[in-house]
Amino acid sequence: MADPSAADASAADAFMADARALKERIRAAARAAGFDQVGFAPAAPPTHADVYEAWLANGYHGEMAYMAREDAVRRRLDPREALPGCRTLVVVSLLYGPTPAGATALDRRSVDGGDSAPHRRLPVVARYALGRDYHDVFEERLDALSAAIENLAPGARTKRYVDYGPVLERDHAQRAGLGWIGRNTMLLHPDLGSYFMLGELLTDLEIEPDPPFVHDRCGTCRRCIDACPTDAILDGRVLDARLCISYLTIELRGSIPEALRPAIGNRVFGCDICQEVCPWNSDAPVPAEAPFAPRSGQPVPPENMVAWAEELAPLDADEFRARYRGTAFSRPGRDGLLRNLAIGLGNAGGAGARPILERLRADPSPLVREHARWALGVLQGYVGPSEQNAES
Ligand code: SF4
Ligand code: SF4
């Protein structure tokens, strides 16, 4: 007579083998969809939930009120709130890499934009933004991965997220083995650096998690903290977003605090400094594919702030949206970008800055007018409070 316990063990072995095979098929499908890293994390509350709650309580999220909404917080603190029955997070990344060979002058700008006058007048743009909006690229690829999972495991439910979603993605990425959270609060991998973006597919499939990345490879280094021009990186791997140039130039809708404007320099969209100085990025690989490469006909920012401001000034909001649809620049919008360019022009000065700032001083947008007045004041060497605040 057959031993029932042996039969049970054999069935369990077969189940485990099937589960492992499914996991590796999903991993292969993620790679086929174009992702560079793939890891599996349990759908459990994030390890750093307390850090996140303290971050919100301190108001470090600034005007990103969507992050502090009660329902969003609840879902960030437990992926099962975002997808009922969720058991696993498939965490994926796309490398956009350091400056590729053959890049344009715009791509090649050094960390501070350089000291020479032409370099100071270049609009410095975060590397990920010089092409298609990465959200669109992730969404397409996560949809392909979702379809593949549906084929492999009919009936499985999935839900995708790219950093707008209620998921503490770096926390989950660390748990999925993709890297560690550095002092600059970015996810870092010893072979890949930090020039990559993350996305997640939540699923109700039970998949064995990958081993977490447990090592902290920052050691005694503090380069990112020392290099940050606005002292936005606090001890304890906490970012005060209200001080961060990425937040100020992309997320903030209103006026940029005057005390921070000089430190922004010519960074008119985002900031890569705390990644540029990181030693783990010095040998970061250039990816074989440029995942966020511009589509044909997509606008590429001119290599001069004056030219970019002249291009944007005549556009109204609808014309801007039509022109910049599908790019990261649509996030701050026309007025936000012109606000940033006015600051950059005030900081850089040089030929052509004053005429375009005079034009922006009469712009339909009060936000743009105020920043243009500030910049003209900087160019004059003094700006008095009454002049800054007076409407023209
Ligand atoms: S992105 Fe720039 S401003 Fe923000 S923390 Fe990093 S170095 Fe500082
Ligand atoms: S610059 Fe240094 S401290 Fe900052 S993230 Fe990189 S290794 Fe860590």
Q: How far is the CA of 226 from the centre of ligand 1 (A)?
A: 10
In this structure, the residue with its CA closest to atom 2 of ligand 1 is 271
CB of 96 closer than 6 A to ligand 2?
A: no
In ligand 1, the atom with minimum distance to the C-alpha of 231 is: 8
Q: Distance, CA 244 to ligand 1 centroid (Å)?
A: 5
Is residue 324 included in any domain, yes or no? Answer: no
Number of Cβ within 10 Å of residue 151's Cβ equals 11
Task: With CA atoms as reference, report the closest residue to 265 among 310, 305, 238, 302.
Answer: 305
Look at residue 389 and tell me if it is in a domain. Answer: no
Atom 8, ligand 2: which residue's CA is nearest?
218
C-beta separation of 267 from 124 below 8 A = yes
| Contact by Cβ (8 Å): 360, 369 | yes
State residue 116's pLDDT score. 60
Q: What angle do CA 188, 191, 192 make, to 5 degrees?
A: 55
- Gap from CA of 228 to ligand 1 centroid (Å): 5
Residue 193 DSSP SS3:
strand
Ligand nearest to the CA of 111: 1
Protein residue closest via CA to atom 2 of ligand 2 = 221
Ligand 2 centroid, distance to 277 Cα (angstroms): 8
Q: Which residues are the active-site residues?
A: 163
Question: Best substitution site from 180, 218, 233 to test ligand 2's pocket, by max atoms within 8 Å of Cβ?
Answer: 218
Nearest atom within ligand 2 for CA of residue 225:
4
The pair of structure tokens assigned to 216 is: 């902290």
Q: With CA atoms as reference, report the closest residue to 120 among 354, 351, 392, 290.
A: 351
Q: Is 359 helix (H, G, I), strand (E, B) or coil?
A: helix
Minimal-distance CA residue to ligand 1 atom 8: 228
The secondary structure element, H or E, covering residue 238 is strand 238-239
Instruction: For the full predicted model, state whether its pTM sits above 0.85.
Output: yes
Would you say residue 206 lies in a domain?
Answer: yes
The 3-state DSSP composition of the chain as helix, strand, coil percent (nearest 5) reads 45, 10, 45
Rounded average pLDDT per 10-residue block, the chain, 392 residues: 68 80 97 97 88 87 83 84 95 83 44 57 89 93 98 96 77 97 96 95 97 97 97 94 96 97 95 95 86 83 93 97 94 97 94 94 98 96 47 36
Nearest ligand 1 atom to alpha carbon 239: 5
Ligand 1 pocket, CB under 6 A: 184, 228, 230, 232-233, 239, 244-246, 271, 273-274
Measured by CA distance, the residue closest to atom 1 of ligand 1 is 271
How many helices (H) does the chain have, and how many strands (E)? 18, 10
374 within domain boundaries: no
Structural domain containing residue 255: 8-293
Ligand 2 mean position to 218 CA, how many Å? 5
Position 108 scores a pLDDT of 42
Q: Which ligand is nearest to the CA of 281?
A: 2
Query: Which amino acid residue places its CA nearest to atom 6 of ligand 1?
Result: 274
> What is the Cα 9 distance to its own chain's centre?
47
From ligand 2's centre to the CA of 124, what distance in Å?
22
**Which of 201, 199, 198 lies closest to 158, judged by CA?**
201
Within a domain: residue 353?
A: no
Closest ligand to Cα 112: 1
Closest CA to 348 of 125, 127, 122, 126: 122
Residues 159, 164, 168, 171, CA torsion sign:
positive
Amino acid at 120: R
Question: Could you tell me if residue 301 is inside a domain?
Answer: no
Cα(305) to centroid(ligand 2), Å: 31
Among the bound ligands, the one closest to the CA of 183: 2
Say how many domains are in the chain: 1
How crowded is residue 324: how many other Cβ atoms within 10 Å of its Cβ?
A: 22
In a domain, 20, yes or no: yes
Cβ atoms of 354 and 367 closer than 8 Å: no
Sign for the pseudo-dihedral over CA of 259, 265, 270, 273: negative
Tokens read off for 375: 């910049």
Looking at residue 375, its amino acid is A
Are 204 and 83 in contact by the 8 Å Cβ rule? The answer is yes
**Cα 149 to Cα 152: distance, rounded to the nearest angstrom:** 5
126 assigned to some structural domain: yes
DSSP-derived secondary structure letter, 172: H
H or E, element range at 277: none
- Quick check: CB of 227 below 6 Å from ligand 2? no
CA-277 nearest atom, ligand 2: 1
Cβ contacts of 70-77, under 8 Å, gap ≥ 24? 71/166, 72/166, 75/166, 75/167, 76/46, 76/52, 76/166, 76/167, 76/168, 77/45, 77/46, 77/49, 77/52, 77/53, 77/168
